[in-house]
Structure 1
């Protein structure tokens, strides 16, 4: 039996590419295993899939800032390495695909000890800390942005583009209309704050709800625990988070307001959705989303609004400019070829699994 193991977690962005690839390997007859954390979002997303064996392990948070928890993290990572090594020796996968996130670090290190080839996928413009720690143990590093090659080990890295989920191209407007219950025929504004939500984006939408509803129907993905039942206006629907329904809601939508996580914004390009990106501030992140959004703005795929610049007035003005520019944005996105990166990743993984590449 051919076996492949996937890892990655912490955010939906560290899982989405894995969920895009897993069905292809199942169709090819692979037994699929997944190593994630005990309680992370990856556990919920992967356990929704059929015939995927999920294993939880210990993981540290690998903080960049001072914290008492930093003392415990090396021990958690060490425990995770031992747990992952035990799983790998039991399951004996032929190859491992890592999407990043803290939980991937023990798995990649264990894979090196077990002499199992590892391919890492880096979605963002610059690598995150978890992937940086994992790079020395990887056999191959794949990047979404060509500029990322300047920040990764040259000899074992390759630009492959974005891996887009096939299911996103099968959205059904009729299902979305039934789900949302919209009755008026207005343009649809889809608002996404990431899997955990964005207080800043939520506030900007709700502060301007009355004005925005004059022109748009609004679908608001507000994040777990951020749904506010006091807002029940006609033409406005809230969801904490959606999975299977996302393809339908995207197909239904005309404009998108979103954070600037790499996987999501490349999906918007593939679907030709004009977007206003509000990246995570450098005050609470390493600035990767800012670089992602700047790259997309330079290419003419998106408008951006820095989080520190978001006010009720600036948000409305940004939506107005996005609306006026949507045709130009779509024209530019049409010229972007969604590369056959998914097929290329599958081919690479199969080659490593069969041992045809040098390890």
Structure 2
């Protein structure tokens, strides 16, 4: 089976595509892939690292208000459709899979015009503009949240969960501890702001770092994002250095391994992140980004909060003190941790990628 994958901009769109590829490769070792993205998105660096051939097209997203730039975007879209058709004719895929981001638009649309079966996956509760546009052209639609079913044609939409959930259940906790030299008797607290970092989380964590030594049975792994790493490293040094129970990282490439070892996680509330956490039952403190379309991260996070699987701190509520308090409320109450763990596992969909692969096989 030959499959074109497309999706980009942020890790939330890229990792689900890679998870689908990984599961399909496990089930069909002869499967081959081509990834179509942009040179501006993270996919241009993440995808080649996975050994998947990469092709770039030039495309940008629509503005949500009438501007002259949207006219130029339409022109770029038409050019990108033409380039996508050329790539598809040369590669001759059996299927095209889109996992979100504006780059999916021309690729999936071009595939539908060429009669190639397509599947799109929507990660968030409220669909983005690109997937709303593609819904009429896609052969199948998979969604991460049951609430999303109402936005798409009933006859071709399936609630599968997020395929990234399947990817993380194969993580190796011992390998993560070895790679970071973390003793087995320490509870790992993971703090991460997303693939590009998050300034508010970083600022709160810097303040929290002054109290990390109080959590004697914990080891903190703090992922700053590559953009902020050097600044934060220097700031910690100026403040008398990092605590002994803190590991500072710019980025994590073996996230499934690290998550497998994580006791509590502090994260944004992107859909892929929530899929990972619930697949493993990791209690979490979620800090939704207020800068995303339709405020979808808060909507994602509130679902876990209602289920009792997470604590939600809005960015306007976030400080070193509130973060410390939220952590202490979980770490200091074993019953609360256990309840959050159980509730998180209940809403997880660890077989999501396999379900999507079955859909692909039915479409092919």
1:1-359 maps to which residues of 2 (within 5 A)? 2-27=1-26, 28=28, 29-50=30-51, 52-65=52-65, 69-164=69-164, 166-182=166-182, 185-215=185-215, 216-227=218-229, 228-230=232-234, 231=236, 232-233=241-242, 234-243=244-253, 245-281=254-290, 283-323=291-331, 324=333, 325-336=336-347, 338=349, 340-353=351-364
CA spacing shift, 1:213–1:129, aligned 2, 3 Å: farther
TM-score between both structures, scaled by the size of structure 2: 0.89
Q: Work out whether residues 184 and 235 of structure 1, in 8 Å CA contact, stay in contact via their aligned partners in 2.
A: no
- Alignment partners' CA distance in 2, 1:202 and 1:339: 30
Structure 1: segments with no counterpart, 5+ residues: 354-359
- Alignment partners' CA distance in 1, 2:177 and 2:356: 35
1:139 Cα deviation after fit: 1.5
1:105 Cα deviation after fit: 0.5
- Alignment partners' CA distance in 1, 2:284 and 2:264: 6
2:197 is paired with a residue whose SS is coil
1:46 Cα deviation after fit: 1.3
Q: Work out whether residues 26 and 32 of structure 1, in 8 Å CA contact, stay in contact via their aligned partners in 2.
A: no
2:169 is paired with a residue whose SS is helix
1:22 Cα deviation after fit: 1.2
- Alignment partners' CA distance in 1, 2:311 and 2:222: 19
1:200 is paired with a residue whose SS is helix
CA spacing shift, 1:177–1:343, aligned 2, 3 Å: closer
CA spacing shift, 1:236–1:103, aligned 2, 3 Å: same
1:66 Cα deviation after fit: 6.4
Decide which moves more: 155-164 or 122-131: 155-164
CA spacing shift, 1:247–1:284, aligned 2, 3 Å: closer
Structure 2: segments with no counterpart, 5+ residues: none
Higher relative contact order (CA 8 A, sep 6+): 2
Q: Deviations over 1:114-139 (max 9, x none)?
A: 11111111111110122112212211
Decide which moves more: 335-344 or 97-106: 335-344
CA spacing shift, 1:61–1:35, aligned 2, 3 Å: same
Q: Which has the higher helix share?
A: 2
1:136 is paired with a residue whose SS is coil
CA spacing shift, 1:334–1:26, aligned 2, 3 Å: closer
- Alignment partners' CA distance in 2, 1:347 and 1:174: 31
CA spacing shift, 1:171–1:160, aligned 2, 3 Å: closer
1:23 Cα deviation after fit: 3.0
Q: Work out whether residues 165 and 350 of structure 2, in 8 Å CA contact, stay in contact via their aligned partners in 1.
A: no
1:208 is paired with a residue whose SS is helix
Q: Deviations over 1:4-48 (max 9, x none)?
A: 111101111101111112134345222211111123211212111
Partner of 1:357: none
Aligned length: 349
